[in-house]
Amino acid sequence: MAKAHELREMSDDQLEFSLKEAQESLFKLKFQASTEKLDAPSNLRKARREIARLKTIIHERTRAKSAKVTGGGA
Protein backbone atom coordinates (compact mmCIF):
# COMPACT_ATOMS: atom_id res chain seq x y z
CA MET A 1 0.00 0.00 0.00
CA ALA A 2 1.56 3.20 -1.20
CA LYS A 3 1.06 6.52 0.51
CA ALA A 4 -0.49 9.40 -1.40
CA HIS A 5 2.76 11.37 -1.61
CA GLU A 6 4.49 8.31 -3.09
CA LEU A 7 1.74 7.95 -5.68
CA ARG A 8 1.98 11.63 -6.63
CA GLU A 9 5.63 11.07 -7.57
CA MET A 10 4.62 8.43 -10.14
CA SER A 11 4.03 9.19 -13.81
CA ASP A 12 0.57 8.99 -15.38
CA ASP A 13 1.39 5.67 -17.03
CA GLN A 14 2.61 4.19 -13.76
CA LEU A 15 -0.58 5.32 -12.02
CA GLU A 16 -2.77 3.75 -14.70
CA PHE A 17 -0.81 0.49 -14.45
CA SER A 18 -1.06 0.49 -10.65
CA LEU A 19 -4.80 1.12 -10.89
CA LYS A 20 -5.28 -1.85 -13.21
CA GLU A 21 -3.25 -4.07 -10.90
CA ALA A 22 -5.23 -2.92 -7.85
CA GLN A 23 -8.53 -3.56 -9.62
CA GLU A 24 -7.42 -7.06 -10.61
CA SER A 25 -6.31 -7.70 -7.05
CA LEU A 26 -9.70 -6.55 -5.72
CA PHE A 27 -11.48 -8.84 -8.17
CA LYS A 28 -9.43 -11.81 -6.97
CA LEU A 29 -10.08 -10.90 -3.33
CA LYS A 30 -13.83 -10.64 -3.96
CA PHE A 31 -13.77 -14.02 -5.67
CA GLN A 32 -11.93 -15.54 -2.70
CA ALA A 33 -14.43 -13.94 -0.32
CA SER A 34 -17.37 -15.42 -2.21
CA THR A 35 -15.85 -18.90 -2.07
CA GLU A 36 -15.00 -18.42 1.62
CA LYS A 37 -11.27 -18.85 1.05
CA LEU A 38 -10.25 -15.31 2.05
CA ASP A 39 -7.56 -15.29 4.74
CA ALA A 40 -7.77 -11.64 5.78
CA PRO A 41 -11.04 -9.79 5.11
CA SER A 42 -9.28 -6.51 5.85
CA ASN A 43 -7.45 -6.87 2.53
CA LEU A 44 -10.71 -6.04 0.72
CA ARG A 45 -10.90 -2.71 2.49
CA LYS A 46 -7.23 -1.98 1.83
CA ALA A 47 -7.64 -2.75 -1.88
CA ARG A 48 -10.70 -0.51 -2.19
CA ARG A 49 -8.88 2.34 -0.47
CA GLU A 50 -5.84 1.89 -2.72
CA ILE A 51 -8.09 2.12 -5.79
CA ALA A 52 -9.78 5.23 -4.41
CA ARG A 53 -6.40 6.83 -3.68
CA LEU A 54 -5.19 6.12 -7.23
CA LYS A 55 -8.39 7.40 -8.83
CA THR A 56 -8.25 10.57 -6.74
CA ILE A 57 -4.72 11.40 -7.86
CA ILE A 58 -5.53 10.63 -11.50
CA HIS A 59 -8.60 12.87 -11.28
CA GLU A 60 -6.58 15.69 -9.67
CA ARG A 61 -4.12 15.56 -12.57
CA THR A 62 -6.83 15.59 -15.24
CA ARG A 63 -8.50 18.58 -13.56
CA ALA A 64 -5.17 20.41 -13.37
CA LYS A 65 -4.54 19.76 -17.05
CA SER A 66 -8.00 20.95 -18.07
CA ALA A 67 -7.60 24.07 -15.91
CA LYS A 68 -4.39 24.90 -17.77
CA VAL A 69 -6.08 24.47 -21.13
CA THR A 70 -9.11 26.59 -20.25
CA GLY A 71 -7.08 29.23 -18.44
CA GLY A 72 -7.97 28.44 -14.85
CA GLY A 73 -11.21 29.14 -13.09
CA ALA A 74 -13.16 27.66 -10.23
- The pTM (predicted TM-score) of the whole model is 0.84
Q: Per residue in 22-69, pLDDT tens?
A: 999 999 999 999 988 888 889 999 999 999 999 999 999 999 988 888
Closest C-alpha among 45, 51, 61 to residue 8: 61
Q: Which domains does the chain have, with CATH numbers?
A: 4-67 (1.10.287)
Residues found in the chain = 74
Measured over the CA atoms of residue 13, residue 27, residue 62 and residue 59, the dihedral's sign is negative
* Residue 73: pLDDT band with limits 50, 70, 90: low
